[in-house]
Structure 1
Amino acid sequence: MKPNTAKASLDAKKKLLGCWLQLVNPVVGEMMGLGGYDFVLIDLEHGLGTIPDAANVMRAVRGTGASSFVRVPTNDAITIRTLMDQGVDGIMVPMVETPEAARAVVQACRYPPKGVRGLAIGIVRGADYGMDDAYVETVDDHTVVICQIETVEGVRRAKEIAEVDGVDMLFVGRNDLAADSGHILDLDHPEVEAMTDEVMAVAHAAGKTVGTVPSAGRNWQKLLSDGFDLVIPSSDISILRSFGQEEVAAFRTATNQGKQSKPVARGY
Protein backbone atom coordinates (compact mmCIF):
# COMPACT_ATOMS: atom_id res chain seq x y z
CA MET A 1 0.00 0.00 0.00
CA LYS A 2 1.02 3.64 -0.46
CA PRO A 3 3.22 4.85 2.39
CA ASN A 4 1.45 7.09 4.88
CA THR A 5 3.96 9.95 4.92
CA ALA A 6 2.17 11.82 7.70
CA LYS A 7 2.25 8.81 10.03
CA ALA A 8 5.90 8.21 9.23
CA SER A 9 6.67 11.82 10.10
CA LEU A 10 4.75 11.61 13.38
CA ASP A 11 6.58 8.40 14.27
CA ALA A 12 9.85 10.24 13.58
CA LYS A 13 8.81 13.01 16.01
CA LYS A 14 8.41 15.59 13.25
CA LYS A 15 5.87 18.43 13.42
CA LEU A 16 3.04 18.37 10.87
CA LEU A 17 1.02 21.08 9.11
CA GLY A 18 -2.36 20.24 7.59
CA CYS A 19 -5.22 21.93 5.79
CA TRP A 20 -8.95 21.37 6.31
CA LEU A 21 -10.93 20.57 3.15
CA GLN A 22 -14.49 21.76 3.62
CA LEU A 23 -15.36 21.89 -0.08
CA VAL A 24 -14.25 18.26 -0.55
CA ASN A 25 -13.09 18.90 -4.10
CA PRO A 26 -10.37 16.77 -5.76
CA VAL A 27 -8.77 19.75 -7.51
CA VAL A 28 -8.46 21.64 -4.24
CA GLY A 29 -7.09 18.58 -2.47
CA GLU A 30 -4.50 18.05 -5.17
CA MET A 31 -3.44 21.72 -5.04
CA MET A 32 -3.02 21.62 -1.27
CA GLY A 33 -0.96 18.45 -1.50
CA LEU A 34 1.22 19.90 -4.25
CA GLY A 35 1.53 23.08 -2.21
CA GLY A 36 3.39 21.17 0.47
CA TYR A 37 0.91 20.46 3.24
CA ASP A 38 1.80 17.25 5.08
CA PHE A 39 -1.81 16.12 4.96
CA VAL A 40 -5.29 17.25 4.06
CA LEU A 41 -8.17 16.76 6.49
CA ILE A 42 -11.32 16.00 4.51
CA ASP A 43 -14.14 17.23 6.72
CA LEU A 44 -17.35 15.23 6.46
CA GLU A 45 -18.66 16.65 9.76
CA HIS A 46 -18.96 20.29 8.70
CA GLY A 47 -17.91 20.13 5.05
CA LEU A 48 -19.89 19.70 1.85
CA GLY A 49 -19.08 16.12 0.91
CA THR A 50 -19.99 12.46 0.90
CA ILE A 51 -17.91 9.29 1.18
CA PRO A 52 -17.57 9.02 -2.64
CA ASP A 53 -16.47 12.67 -2.72
CA ALA A 54 -13.86 11.93 -0.06
CA ALA A 55 -12.61 8.92 -2.02
CA ASN A 56 -12.12 11.09 -5.09
CA VAL A 57 -10.13 13.61 -3.07
CA MET A 58 -7.94 10.75 -1.80
CA ARG A 59 -7.26 9.74 -5.40
CA ALA A 60 -6.23 13.29 -6.29
CA VAL A 61 -3.99 13.68 -3.24
CA ARG A 62 -2.31 10.30 -3.62
CA GLY A 63 0.26 11.46 -6.17
CA THR A 64 1.28 14.62 -4.29
CA GLY A 65 3.15 13.05 -1.40
CA ALA A 66 0.60 14.27 1.16
CA SER A 67 -1.61 12.02 3.27
CA SER A 68 -5.42 12.06 3.36
CA PHE A 69 -7.28 12.07 6.67
CA VAL A 70 -11.07 12.20 7.04
CA ARG A 71 -13.13 13.58 9.90
CA VAL A 72 -16.33 11.55 10.06
CA PRO A 73 -19.63 13.16 11.15
CA THR A 74 -19.95 10.90 14.19
CA ASN A 75 -18.57 7.75 15.78
CA ASP A 76 -20.26 5.41 13.31
CA ALA A 77 -18.60 2.07 12.60
CA ILE A 78 -20.14 1.68 9.13
CA THR A 79 -18.87 5.07 7.95
CA ILE A 80 -15.41 4.42 9.37
CA ARG A 81 -15.21 0.93 7.86
CA THR A 82 -16.24 2.23 4.43
CA LEU A 83 -13.59 4.95 4.52
CA MET A 84 -10.99 2.39 5.59
CA ASP A 85 -11.94 0.32 2.55
CA GLN A 86 -11.41 3.41 0.40
CA GLY A 87 -7.83 3.70 1.62
CA VAL A 88 -7.96 6.63 4.02
CA ASP A 89 -4.66 7.36 5.79
CA GLY A 90 -6.26 8.59 9.00
CA ILE A 91 -9.63 8.70 10.72
CA MET A 92 -10.66 11.58 12.99
CA VAL A 93 -13.76 11.13 15.16
CA PRO A 94 -15.38 14.13 16.87
CA MET A 95 -16.73 14.37 20.42
CA VAL A 96 -14.99 11.34 21.94
CA GLU A 97 -15.72 11.44 25.67
CA THR A 98 -15.03 7.94 27.00
CA PRO A 99 -12.49 5.14 26.59
CA GLU A 100 -15.35 2.93 25.42
CA ALA A 101 -16.03 5.33 22.55
CA ALA A 102 -12.33 5.40 21.71
CA ARG A 103 -12.19 1.60 21.62
CA ALA A 104 -15.17 1.60 19.24
CA VAL A 105 -13.22 3.88 16.88
CA VAL A 106 -10.21 1.58 16.95
CA GLN A 107 -12.31 -1.54 16.43
CA ALA A 108 -14.01 -0.02 13.38
CA CYS A 109 -10.55 0.49 11.85
CA ARG A 110 -9.28 -3.02 12.59
CA TYR A 111 -9.92 -6.48 11.20
CA PRO A 112 -10.82 -9.32 13.59
CA PRO A 113 -9.71 -10.33 16.15
CA LYS A 114 -8.69 -6.74 17.00
CA GLY A 115 -11.83 -5.16 15.58
CA VAL A 116 -15.02 -5.46 13.61
CA ARG A 117 -14.03 -4.34 10.12
CA GLY A 118 -15.41 -6.52 7.33
CA LEU A 119 -12.94 -8.29 5.07
CA ALA A 120 -13.25 -7.52 1.34
CA ILE A 121 -9.64 -7.12 0.28
CA GLY A 122 -10.30 -8.38 -3.24
CA ILE A 123 -12.38 -5.34 -4.19
CA VAL A 124 -11.51 -2.36 -1.98
CA ARG A 125 -9.34 0.56 -3.04
CA GLY A 126 -7.36 0.40 0.19
CA ALA A 127 -5.97 -2.97 -0.83
CA ASP A 128 -5.36 -1.79 -4.40
CA TYR A 129 -8.43 -3.75 -5.46
CA GLY A 130 -6.91 -7.03 -4.35
CA MET A 131 -3.45 -6.41 -5.77
CA ASP A 132 -1.73 -5.63 -2.43
CA ASP A 133 -0.88 -9.01 -0.92
CA ALA A 134 0.45 -7.49 2.30
CA TYR A 135 -2.50 -5.20 3.00
CA VAL A 136 -4.09 -7.12 5.88
CA GLU A 137 -0.76 -7.44 7.69
CA THR A 138 0.32 -3.81 7.21
CA VAL A 139 -2.79 -1.60 7.22
CA ASP A 140 -2.81 -1.06 11.01
CA ASP A 141 0.74 0.31 10.85
CA HIS A 142 -0.27 2.75 8.11
CA THR A 143 -3.41 4.20 9.73
CA VAL A 144 -3.62 7.18 12.10
CA VAL A 145 -6.53 6.97 14.56
CA ILE A 146 -7.45 10.37 15.99
CA CYS A 147 -9.94 11.03 18.80
CA GLN A 148 -11.16 14.59 19.19
CA ILE A 149 -11.40 15.94 22.73
CA GLU A 150 -13.99 18.70 22.54
CA THR A 151 -15.91 18.68 25.81
CA VAL A 152 -15.20 19.11 29.50
CA GLU A 153 -16.09 15.45 29.99
CA GLY A 154 -13.67 14.48 27.24
CA VAL A 155 -10.90 16.40 28.99
CA ARG A 156 -11.78 14.77 32.30
CA ARG A 157 -11.36 11.33 30.75
CA ALA A 158 -8.59 12.22 28.30
CA LYS A 159 -6.01 10.12 30.16
CA GLU A 160 -8.19 7.01 29.82
CA ILE A 161 -8.84 7.75 26.16
CA ALA A 162 -5.15 8.26 25.43
CA GLU A 163 -4.32 4.93 27.03
CA VAL A 164 -6.61 2.99 24.67
CA ASP A 165 -4.49 0.70 22.51
CA GLY A 166 -4.75 1.76 18.88
CA VAL A 167 -5.47 5.44 19.49
CA ASP A 168 -2.61 7.38 17.92
CA MET A 169 -3.56 10.98 18.59
CA LEU A 170 -5.78 13.22 20.68
CA PHE A 171 -6.93 16.34 18.85
CA VAL A 172 -8.22 19.23 20.94
CA GLY A 173 -11.28 20.81 19.34
CA ARG A 174 -10.82 24.21 20.97
CA ASN A 175 -13.93 25.80 19.45
CA ASP A 176 -16.31 23.23 20.88
CA LEU A 177 -14.33 22.95 24.10
CA ALA A 178 -14.70 26.69 24.65
CA ALA A 179 -18.43 26.45 23.98
CA ASP A 180 -18.96 23.42 26.21
CA SER A 181 -17.11 25.04 29.10
CA GLY A 182 -19.23 28.19 28.95
CA HIS A 183 -16.77 30.36 27.04
CA ILE A 184 -18.15 30.19 23.50
CA LEU A 185 -15.91 31.91 20.91
CA ASP A 186 -13.25 32.57 23.58
CA LEU A 187 -10.62 29.97 22.73
CA ASP A 188 -8.03 31.90 24.74
CA HIS A 189 -9.96 31.91 28.00
CA PRO A 190 -7.65 30.72 30.81
CA GLU A 191 -9.92 27.77 31.58
CA VAL A 192 -9.90 26.65 27.94
CA GLU A 193 -6.14 27.10 27.73
CA ALA A 194 -5.65 25.02 30.87
CA MET A 195 -7.78 22.18 29.53
CA THR A 196 -6.00 22.31 26.15
CA ASP A 197 -2.63 21.94 27.82
CA GLU A 198 -3.95 19.21 30.10
CA VAL A 199 -4.91 17.12 27.07
CA MET A 200 -1.47 17.66 25.56
CA ALA A 201 0.19 16.52 28.78
CA VAL A 202 -1.84 13.34 29.20
CA ALA A 203 -1.46 12.43 25.52
CA HIS A 204 2.32 12.74 25.66
CA ALA A 205 2.45 10.88 28.97
CA ALA A 206 0.68 7.98 27.25
CA GLY A 207 3.12 8.09 24.33
CA LYS A 208 0.54 9.53 21.96
CA THR A 209 0.69 12.58 19.71
CA VAL A 210 -1.58 15.60 20.04
CA GLY A 211 -2.97 18.19 17.62
CA THR A 212 -5.24 21.21 17.63
CA VAL A 213 -6.25 24.42 15.83
CA PRO A 214 -4.85 27.93 16.52
CA SER A 215 -6.61 30.91 18.04
CA ALA A 216 -6.21 34.68 18.05
CA GLY A 217 -3.91 34.52 21.06
CA ARG A 218 -2.10 31.30 20.26
CA ASN A 219 -1.08 30.89 16.63
CA TRP A 220 0.20 27.70 15.08
CA GLN A 221 3.82 28.68 15.64
CA LYS A 222 3.18 29.10 19.37
CA LEU A 223 1.26 25.83 19.58
CA LEU A 224 4.11 23.91 17.97
CA SER A 225 6.69 25.53 20.23
CA ASP A 226 4.50 24.68 23.22
CA GLY A 227 4.69 21.01 22.31
CA PHE A 228 1.82 20.21 19.97
CA ASP A 229 2.76 17.74 17.25
CA LEU A 230 0.25 18.74 14.58
CA VAL A 231 -1.72 21.85 13.70
CA ILE A 232 -4.40 22.63 11.11
CA PRO A 233 -4.60 26.42 10.88
CA SER A 234 -6.62 26.95 7.70
CA SER A 235 -9.19 25.46 5.37
CA ASP A 236 -9.86 25.80 1.68
CA ILE A 237 -12.76 28.11 2.59
CA SER A 238 -10.76 30.31 4.97
CA ILE A 239 -7.91 30.66 2.47
CA LEU A 240 -10.33 31.78 -0.25
CA ARG A 241 -12.19 34.03 2.17
CA SER A 242 -9.10 35.75 3.55
CA PHE A 243 -7.39 36.30 0.20
CA GLY A 244 -10.60 37.51 -1.41
CA GLN A 245 -11.34 39.99 1.37
CA GLU A 246 -7.78 41.34 1.31
CA GLU A 247 -7.77 41.74 -2.47
CA VAL A 248 -11.14 43.52 -2.51
CA ALA A 249 -10.04 45.84 0.29
CA ALA A 250 -6.83 46.69 -1.61
CA PHE A 251 -8.85 47.39 -4.76
CA ARG A 252 -11.26 49.72 -2.92
CA THR A 253 -8.33 51.64 -1.48
CA ALA A 254 -6.40 51.85 -4.76
CA THR A 255 -9.40 53.11 -6.70
CA ASN A 256 -10.53 55.54 -3.99
CA GLN A 257 -13.86 53.78 -3.70
CA GLY A 258 -13.64 53.58 0.04
CA LYS A 259 -12.02 50.90 2.11
CA GLN A 260 -14.35 47.99 2.58
CA SER A 261 -14.58 46.91 6.18
CA LYS A 262 -13.63 43.31 6.71
CA PRO A 263 -15.97 41.12 8.74
CA VAL A 264 -14.45 39.27 11.64
CA ALA A 265 -13.52 35.77 10.52
CA ARG A 266 -13.90 33.20 13.28
CA GLY A 267 -12.07 29.90 13.16
CA TYR A 268 -10.69 28.02 10.25
Structure 2
Amino acid sequence: MNRLPNRFKQGLLARRRQIGAWLTSGSPTITEVFSGSGFDWLLVDMEHSPNDLLQVVDHLRAAGQRSEIIVRVPWNEPVVVKRLLDAGVTSLMFPYVQSGEEARAAVAATRYPPHGIRGVAGTTRATDYGRRVRFASASEEIAVVVQLETPAAIQACGEIAAVDGIDGVFIGPNDLAANMGHLGDANHPDVRAAMIEGARIIAAAGKSPGTLAYVPDKVASPFAEGFDFVGAAFDIGILVRGASQVQADYARLRELED
Protein backbone atom coordinates (compact mmCIF):
# COMPACT_ATOMS: atom_id res chain seq x y z
CA MET A 1 0.00 0.00 0.00
CA ASN A 2 2.23 2.78 -1.30
CA ARG A 3 0.47 5.90 -0.09
CA LEU A 4 0.85 9.29 -1.66
CA PRO A 5 1.67 12.22 0.64
CA ASN A 6 -1.37 13.50 2.54
CA ARG A 7 -2.56 16.20 0.13
CA PHE A 8 -5.21 17.42 2.57
CA LYS A 9 -2.59 18.00 5.27
CA GLN A 10 -0.30 19.71 2.77
CA GLY A 11 -3.16 22.02 1.83
CA LEU A 12 -3.85 22.84 5.47
CA LEU A 13 -0.21 23.66 6.17
CA ALA A 14 -0.01 25.83 3.05
CA ARG A 15 -3.41 27.37 3.85
CA ARG A 16 -4.70 26.53 0.40
CA ARG A 17 -8.42 26.75 -0.32
CA GLN A 18 -9.84 23.24 -0.33
CA ILE A 19 -13.37 22.11 -1.19
CA GLY A 20 -14.84 18.99 0.39
CA ALA A 21 -18.00 16.96 0.79
CA TRP A 22 -19.65 15.38 3.84
CA LEU A 23 -20.58 11.70 3.51
CA THR A 24 -23.10 10.25 5.96
CA SER A 25 -25.00 7.65 3.92
CA GLY A 26 -22.70 4.79 4.91
CA SER A 27 -22.43 3.75 1.26
CA PRO A 28 -18.93 3.12 -0.19
CA THR A 29 -20.53 3.34 -3.64
CA ILE A 30 -21.47 6.96 -2.96
CA THR A 31 -17.91 7.56 -1.72
CA GLU A 32 -16.62 6.12 -4.99
CA VAL A 33 -18.93 8.41 -6.97
CA PHE A 34 -17.87 11.49 -5.02
CA SER A 35 -14.18 10.58 -5.22
CA GLY A 36 -14.36 10.94 -8.99
CA SER A 37 -15.97 14.39 -8.80
CA GLY A 38 -12.86 16.44 -8.08
CA PHE A 39 -13.33 17.26 -4.39
CA ASP A 40 -10.12 17.91 -2.46
CA TRP A 41 -11.39 15.93 0.51
CA LEU A 42 -14.29 13.74 1.57
CA LEU A 43 -15.36 13.42 5.18
CA VAL A 44 -16.69 10.05 6.32
CA ASP A 45 -18.76 10.72 9.41
CA MET A 46 -18.80 8.39 12.41
CA GLU A 47 -20.46 10.86 14.79
CA HIS A 48 -23.86 11.31 13.15
CA SER A 49 -24.04 8.39 10.74
CA PRO A 50 -24.12 4.56 10.77
CA ASN A 51 -20.47 4.16 9.69
CA ASP A 52 -18.44 1.71 11.77
CA LEU A 53 -14.78 0.70 11.52
CA LEU A 54 -15.20 -1.92 8.80
CA GLN A 55 -17.29 0.47 6.71
CA VAL A 56 -14.57 3.11 7.04
CA VAL A 57 -12.10 0.65 5.50
CA ASP A 58 -14.54 0.13 2.62
CA HIS A 59 -14.77 3.90 2.14
CA LEU A 60 -10.97 4.14 2.01
CA ARG A 61 -10.83 1.45 -0.65
CA ALA A 62 -13.64 3.09 -2.62
CA ALA A 63 -11.91 6.47 -2.67
CA GLY A 64 -8.53 5.02 -3.60
CA GLN A 65 -6.02 7.82 -4.22
CA ARG A 66 -8.47 10.17 -5.94
CA SER A 67 -9.73 12.07 -2.87
CA GLU A 68 -8.30 12.40 0.61
CA ILE A 69 -10.56 10.83 3.22
CA ILE A 70 -11.11 12.51 6.57
CA VAL A 71 -12.89 10.55 9.28
CA ARG A 72 -14.82 12.40 11.95
CA VAL A 73 -14.50 10.24 15.04
CA PRO A 74 -17.48 9.75 17.35
CA TRP A 75 -15.72 11.46 20.26
CA ASN A 76 -12.33 12.72 21.40
CA GLU A 77 -11.05 9.49 22.92
CA PRO A 78 -8.02 7.37 21.96
CA VAL A 79 -9.45 3.87 21.48
CA VAL A 80 -11.40 4.51 18.28
CA VAL A 81 -8.61 6.77 17.03
CA LYS A 82 -6.03 4.02 17.48
CA ARG A 83 -8.12 1.55 15.50
CA LEU A 84 -8.81 4.03 12.70
CA LEU A 85 -5.13 4.87 12.35
CA ASP A 86 -4.25 1.19 12.23
CA ALA A 87 -6.89 0.78 9.51
CA GLY A 88 -5.09 3.34 7.36
CA VAL A 89 -6.93 6.59 8.12
CA THR A 90 -4.53 9.52 7.86
CA SER A 91 -6.83 12.51 8.48
CA LEU A 92 -9.13 12.80 11.49
CA MET A 93 -11.61 15.35 12.78
CA PHE A 94 -12.34 15.45 16.51
CA PRO A 95 -15.77 16.86 17.46
CA TYR A 96 -16.63 19.16 20.35
CA VAL A 97 -13.15 20.26 21.37
CA GLN A 98 -13.43 22.94 24.03
CA SER A 99 -9.93 23.79 25.19
CA GLY A 100 -6.22 23.58 24.53
CA GLU A 101 -6.06 20.61 26.88
CA GLU A 102 -8.63 18.69 24.83
CA ALA A 103 -6.82 19.62 21.62
CA ARG A 104 -3.56 18.26 23.06
CA ALA A 105 -5.36 15.03 23.97
CA ALA A 106 -6.54 14.68 20.36
CA VAL A 107 -3.00 15.10 19.05
CA ALA A 108 -1.59 12.67 21.64
CA ALA A 109 -3.99 9.97 20.46
CA THR A 110 -2.37 10.14 16.99
CA ARG A 111 1.28 10.08 18.13
CA TYR A 112 3.49 7.23 19.27
CA PRO A 113 5.42 7.59 22.54
CA PRO A 114 7.19 9.67 23.69
CA HIS A 115 5.08 12.29 21.88
CA GLY A 116 1.71 10.65 22.51
CA ILE A 117 -0.16 7.56 23.62
CA ARG A 118 -0.84 5.71 20.35
CA GLY A 119 -0.39 1.96 20.74
CA VAL A 120 2.14 0.19 18.54
CA ALA A 121 1.05 -2.52 16.09
CA GLY A 122 3.22 -3.60 13.18
CA THR A 123 0.99 -5.74 10.95
CA THR A 124 -1.95 -3.44 10.29
CA ARG A 125 -3.47 -2.07 7.11
CA ALA A 126 -1.67 1.22 7.83
CA THR A 127 1.70 -0.55 7.50
CA ASP A 128 0.62 -2.62 4.49
CA TYR A 129 0.40 -5.54 6.90
CA GLY A 130 4.01 -5.23 8.02
CA ARG A 131 5.56 -4.45 4.63
CA ARG A 132 5.88 -0.72 5.25
CA VAL A 133 6.68 0.03 8.87
CA ARG A 134 7.52 3.70 9.47
CA PHE A 135 6.81 4.36 13.13
CA ALA A 136 9.27 7.26 13.49
CA SER A 137 7.76 9.32 10.67
CA ALA A 138 4.13 8.18 10.89
CA SER A 139 2.88 11.48 12.31
CA GLU A 140 4.20 13.43 9.32
CA GLU A 141 1.31 12.16 7.19
CA ILE A 142 -1.43 12.39 9.84
CA ALA A 143 -3.70 15.45 9.73
CA VAL A 144 -5.47 16.45 12.94
CA VAL A 145 -8.49 18.75 12.73
CA VAL A 146 -10.49 19.78 15.79
CA GLN A 147 -14.07 20.98 15.66
CA LEU A 148 -15.38 23.96 17.64
CA GLU A 149 -19.09 23.93 18.37
CA THR A 150 -19.78 26.26 21.32
CA PRO A 151 -19.20 29.89 22.32
CA ALA A 152 -16.69 28.67 24.92
CA ALA A 153 -14.73 26.88 22.20
CA ILE A 154 -14.74 30.01 20.03
CA GLN A 155 -13.41 32.00 22.99
CA ALA A 156 -10.61 29.44 23.38
CA CYS A 157 -9.88 29.11 19.66
CA GLY A 158 -6.57 30.96 19.87
CA GLU A 159 -5.29 28.59 22.55
CA ILE A 160 -6.64 25.58 20.64
CA ALA A 161 -5.11 26.65 17.33
CA ALA A 162 -1.72 27.20 18.98
CA VAL A 163 -1.43 23.54 20.03
CA ASP A 164 1.44 21.82 18.26
CA GLY A 165 0.11 19.07 15.99
CA ILE A 166 -3.21 20.73 15.24
CA ASP A 167 -3.33 21.23 11.48
CA GLY A 168 -6.81 22.67 11.04
CA VAL A 169 -9.62 24.08 13.17
CA PHE A 170 -13.16 23.54 11.94
CA ILE A 171 -16.06 25.68 13.16
CA GLY A 172 -19.35 23.76 13.10
CA PRO A 173 -22.10 26.29 12.30
CA ASN A 174 -25.11 24.17 13.24
CA ASP A 175 -24.00 23.20 16.74
CA LEU A 176 -22.55 26.65 17.35
CA ALA A 177 -25.91 28.17 16.42
CA ALA A 178 -27.73 25.76 18.76
CA ASN A 179 -25.37 26.55 21.62
CA MET A 180 -25.81 30.27 21.01
CA GLY A 181 -29.59 29.97 21.31
CA HIS A 182 -30.30 29.97 17.56
CA LEU A 183 -31.12 26.31 16.91
CA GLY A 184 -31.68 25.73 13.19
CA ASP A 185 -30.44 29.18 12.17
CA ALA A 186 -26.74 28.84 11.34
CA ASN A 187 -26.94 32.03 9.26
CA HIS A 188 -28.05 34.18 12.19
CA PRO A 189 -25.93 37.37 12.20
CA ASP A 190 -24.56 36.66 15.68
CA VAL A 191 -23.53 33.16 14.66
CA ARG A 192 -21.86 34.37 11.47
CA ALA A 193 -20.04 37.09 13.39
CA ALA A 194 -18.70 34.57 15.92
CA MET A 195 -17.56 32.27 13.11
CA ILE A 196 -15.79 35.02 11.20
CA GLU A 197 -14.03 36.24 14.34
CA GLY A 198 -13.03 32.67 15.16
CA ALA A 199 -11.62 32.18 11.67
CA ARG A 200 -9.60 35.38 12.02
CA ILE A 201 -8.06 34.25 15.32
CA ILE A 202 -7.32 30.76 14.01
CA ALA A 203 -5.61 32.15 10.92
CA ALA A 204 -3.61 34.59 13.07
CA ALA A 205 -2.30 31.57 14.98
CA GLY A 206 -1.03 30.17 11.69
CA LYS A 207 -3.61 27.40 11.33
CA SER A 208 -6.17 26.71 8.63
CA PRO A 209 -9.81 27.50 9.54
CA GLY A 210 -12.66 25.48 8.05
CA THR A 211 -16.45 25.31 8.09
CA LEU A 212 -19.59 24.13 6.26
CA ALA A 213 -21.31 26.16 3.57
CA TYR A 214 -23.95 24.05 1.88
CA VAL A 215 -25.99 26.95 0.49
CA PRO A 216 -23.52 29.51 -0.92
CA ASP A 217 -26.26 31.65 -2.47
CA LYS A 218 -27.69 32.41 0.98
CA VAL A 219 -24.46 33.43 2.70
CA ALA A 220 -21.32 35.30 1.80
CA SER A 221 -18.43 33.35 0.34
CA PRO A 222 -16.80 31.33 3.14
CA PHE A 223 -13.45 31.97 1.48
CA ALA A 224 -14.06 35.72 1.62
CA GLU A 225 -14.96 35.33 5.29
CA GLY A 226 -11.52 33.85 6.00
CA PHE A 227 -12.09 30.10 5.79
CA ASP A 228 -9.63 27.87 3.94
CA PHE A 229 -11.33 24.46 3.78
CA VAL A 230 -15.04 24.25 3.22
CA GLY A 231 -17.57 21.41 3.25
CA ALA A 232 -19.60 22.43 0.21
CA ALA A 233 -21.75 19.35 -0.36
CA PHE A 234 -23.67 16.74 1.61
CA ASP A 235 -24.35 13.36 0.01
CA ILE A 236 -27.83 12.85 1.45
CA GLY A 237 -28.77 16.45 0.70
CA ILE A 238 -27.77 16.06 -2.93
CA LEU A 239 -29.76 12.83 -3.24
CA VAL A 240 -32.86 14.34 -1.64
CA ARG A 241 -32.74 17.51 -3.75
CA GLY A 242 -32.07 15.57 -6.95
CA ALA A 243 -34.82 13.03 -6.34
CA SER A 244 -37.31 15.71 -5.32
CA GLN A 245 -36.49 17.81 -8.39
CA VAL A 246 -36.95 14.90 -10.81
CA GLN A 247 -40.26 13.96 -9.21
CA ALA A 248 -41.48 17.57 -9.34
CA ASP A 249 -40.43 18.00 -12.98
CA TYR A 250 -42.28 14.89 -14.09
CA ALA A 251 -45.30 15.68 -11.93
CA ARG A 252 -45.64 18.96 -13.85
CA LEU A 253 -45.39 17.10 -17.17
CA ARG A 254 -48.07 14.67 -16.05
CA GLU A 255 -50.40 17.53 -15.11
CA LEU A 256 -49.87 19.19 -18.50
CA GLU A 257 -50.81 16.00 -20.31
CA ASP A 258 -53.94 15.27 -18.23
TM-score normalized by structure 1?
0.90
1:31-55: CA deviation from partner (whole Å, max 9, x where unpaired): 1111111111000001111011111
Which residue in 1 is equivalent to 2:50? 48
1:14 counterpart residue number = 16
Change (3 A) 1:55 1:82: same
| Cα distance change, pair 240–160 in 1 and its aligned pair in 2 (3 A) | same
1:19-168 superposed matches below 5 A: 19-63=21-65, 65-121=66-122, 123-133=123-133, 135-168=134-167
Alpha-carbon separation, structure 1, partners of 2:76 and 2:185: 27
Where relative contact order (Cα < 8 A, 6+ residues apart) is larger, the structure is: 2
Q: Deviations for 1:206-234, whole angstroms, at most 9, x for unmatched residues?
A: 11101101165776870012221111122
Aligned pair in 2 of structure 1 residues 158, 207: CA closer, same or farther (>3 Å)? same
DSSP-derived class of the 1:130 partner: coil
CA contact (8 A) 1:188 1:216 kept: no
Q: Tell me how far apart the structure 2 counterparts of residues 215 and 104 of structure 1 sit (CA, whole Å).
A: 30
Q: Is the 8 A contact 2:12 2:168 kept in 1?
A: no
Letter of the 1:71 partner, please give it: R
Deviation of residue 197 (structure 1)? 1.0
C-alpha distance in 2 between matches for 1:192 and 1:205: 20
From the superposition, tell whether residues 220 and 52 of structure 1 become closer, same or farther in structure 2 (CA, over 3 Å): farther
In the alignment, the residues of structure 2 paired with residue 169 and residue 41 of structure 1 have an alpha-carbon distance, to the nearest angstrom, of: 14
Matches within 5 A, 1:134-213: 135-213=134-212
Q: Which runs of 5+ in 2 are unaligned?
A: none
| 1:188/1:217 contact within 8 Å kept | no
User: What CA RMSD, in Å, does the superposition of the two structures yield over aligned residues?
Assistant: 1.8
Q: Is the partner of 1:225 in helix, strand or coil?
A: coil
Q: Distance in 2 between matches of 1:114 and 1:232?
A: 31
Deviation at 1:12, TM superposition (A): 3.5
Q: Secondary structure at the match of 1:8?
A: helix
SS in 2 for 1:187: coil
Aligned partners of 1:231 and 1:220: how far apart in 2? 13
Cα distance between partner residues in 2 of 1:125 and 1:219: 43
CA distance in 2, matches of 1:66, 1:215: 19
CA distance in 2, matches of 1:219, 1:103: 36
**Unaligned 5+ residue runs, structure 1?**
259-268
State the shift of 1:113 in Å: 0.6
One-letter amino acid matched to 1:222: S
Q: Secondary structure at the match of 1:255?
A: helix
The answer for the alignment partner of 1:265 in structure 2 is none
User: Contact conserved, 1:149 with 1:155, CA < 8 A, in 2?
Assistant: yes
Q: Percent identity?
A: 35
1:45-94: per-residue Cα shift (whole Å, max 9, x none)? 0111101111111122124x211110011111101111111111211011
CA distance in 2, matches of 1:196, 1:162: 14
Q: Secondary structure at the match of 2:25?
A: coil
Q: TM-score, normalised by structure 2?
A: 0.93
